[in-house]
Amino acid sequence: MALILGLESSCDETAAALVTSDRRILAHKLAGQEAAHRPYGGVVPEIAARAHVEVMAPLVEAALAEAGVTLDQVDAIAATAGPGLIGGVMVGLVTGKALALASGKPLIAVNHLEGHGLSPRLADPDLAFPYLLLLVSGGHCQLLLVEGVGAYRRLATTIDDAAGEAFDKTAKLLGLGFPGGPAVEKAAVRGDPRAVPLPRPLLGSAEPHFSFAGLKSAVARVVGQYSAEDIAASFQQAVVDCLLDRTRRALESVEASALVVAGGVAANASVRAALERLAGEHGRRFVAPPLWLCTDNAAMIAWAGVERFAAGLTDPLDFPARPRWPL
Ligand code: KG4
Ligand code: ZN
């Protein structure tokens, strides 16, 4: 049994967690920064980095206390090393390096996307490789064939905006505030998904990729002509249609035991329901982590650490923070 401390600070959540190789989450601490960024309508990198500096060390102490363990009992320290906002990534990574140096335990530099991508295996012990992963977050929209730890075959990506980014921009256009995804989902409940004609970029296209910029521009053109609720519902339906179409195309082209969704947008109930139906139609299992594990957290980083540690993958203390780091 291995015990891993995980650290996350690549965007606007500071987080520390302790997870065991037998899938027990001994502690999972999270400090959001929404209030600090709200006046600006989006994440301000400098404010984020400063907030990470202030709360990271106390969060690590709180996580160790909650788990009732000391650093000596930890087998390795896993920290997000990218991709993300460089100032924030450095805070978590440097903290991880310092703890590794002080305790003599190995450092595991985790790709944030790998954290999202392996998190379904923390939630579901029966999820075996290979699986088709739809990774939909604020910065990414990708279809990946996950063949094993460190073995990710990218089948599709977005040629412009990420799905979460489209949610965030739509929320801003509709004056729904920040963060945008949950606000759009909430408004959409009271709207009609067929009320506003919106484009479905690349729907039915022979190429595998996603595109959301045209959808966002279309939303900008109809603001004021329809209610915010109808625009939110129609926008959400357009995103679901695009995600479904591209995922169906991939599902039909690969051997995969399951369809898996991860990343912040996977917290959206309409997205989850549509994907679950799609998987059912194709006779595949559908796996989605619980909502709290979809959005940024450190348990997924600790779990990626568990998987990498088991594979003998540790990293040197001079591992660099990488603002861009494709899987
Ligand atoms: O994975 P995540 O927490 O951070 C990144 O790595 O980007 O994803 C955040 C993104 C944001 O764009 C947010 O608006 C979106 O996920 N999101 C949602 C929902 N909850 C979060 N989008 C749609 N519906 C939601 N319920
Ligand atoms: Zn994320």
Domain ranges of the chain: 3-116+295-310, 129-256
| pLDDT at residue 131, rounded to an integer | 98
Identical fold, 3-116+295-310 and 129-256:
yes
CA-to-CA separations, 270 to 206, 238, 259, 266, 275, in angstroms, rounded: 25, 11, 16, 9, 9
Q: What is the DSSP string of 51-79?
A: HHHHHHHHHHHHHHHHHT--GGG-SEEEE
* pLDDT of residue 42 exceeding 90: no
Give 306's pLDDT tier (boundaries 50, 70, 90): very high
**Mutation pick for ligand 1 pocket among 37, 170, 186, 265 (CB with most ligand atoms within 8 Å):** 265
Distance of alpha carbon 256 from the chain centroid: 21
Q: Is 136 annotated as a binding residue?
A: yes
- Do 255 and 130 form a contact (C-beta atoms < 8 A)? yes
Contact between residue 131 and residue 258 where contact means Cβ atoms under 8 Å apart: yes
Kind and range of the H or E run holding 80 = strand 76-82
Regarding the beta carbon of 296 and ligand 1, being less than 6 Å apart is answered yes
Per-residue pLDDT tens for 119-173? 999 999 999 999 999 999 999 999 999 999 999 999 999 999 999 999 999 999 9
Contacts of 81 (CB under 8 A, 6+ apart): 89, 93, 109, 110, 111, 315, 319, 320, 321, 322, 325
The pTM (predicted TM-score) of the whole model is: 0.95
Residue closest via CA to ligand 1's atom 2 equals 264
Instruction: Tell me: pLDDT of 178 over 90.
Output: no
Q: Is the CB of 185 under 6 A from ligand 1?
A: yes
> How sure is the predictor about 41, in pLDDT bands with cuts at 50, 70 and 90?
confident
Share of the chain above pLDDT 90, in %: 97
CA distances from 16 to 59, 142, 143, 178, 276 (A): 6, 26, 28, 24, 31
Q: What is the mean pLDDT of residues 100-107?
A: 98
Dist. CA 299–CA 27, nearest whole Å = 8
Other C-beta atoms lying within 10 Å of the C-beta of residue 298: 34
Asked if residue 42 belongs to a known ligand binding site, the reply is no
Element (H, E) at 146: strand 141-148
Whether 264 is in the pocket of ligand 1, judged by its Cβ within 6 Å, is yes
- Cβ atoms within 10 A of the Cβ of 244, count? 18
Residue 42 Cα to ligand 1 middle (Å): 12
pLDDT tens for residues 230-279? 999 999 999 999 999 999 999 999 999 999 999 999 999 999 999 999 99
* Confidence (pLDDT) at 179: 83
pLDDT of residue 177: 87
- Beta bridge mates, 15: 8, 30
Q: CB of 300 closer than 6 A to ligand 1? A: no
Residue 227 has pLDDT above 90, yes or no: yes
Q: 3-116+295-310 sits in which CATH class?
A: alpha beta
pLDDT tens digits along 54-80: 999 999 999 999 999 999 999 999 999
- What ipTM was predicted for this assembly? 0.98
Q: What CATH class is the domain 129-256?
A: alpha beta
> Distance (Å, rounded) from C-alpha 218 to C-alpha 132?
30
**pLDDT for 181:** 97
User: Tens of pLDDT along 291-300?
Assistant: 999 999 999 9
Residue 147 annotated in ligand binding: no
Q: Is the CB of residue 84 below 6 angstroms from any atom belonging to ligand 1?
A: no
Q: Is 106 in the pocket of ligand 1 (CB under 6 A)?
A: no
Q: According to the annotation, is 185 in a ligand binding site?
A: yes
Is the pLDDT assigned to residue 302 strictly greater than 90?
A: yes
85: three-class secondary structure by DSSP: coil
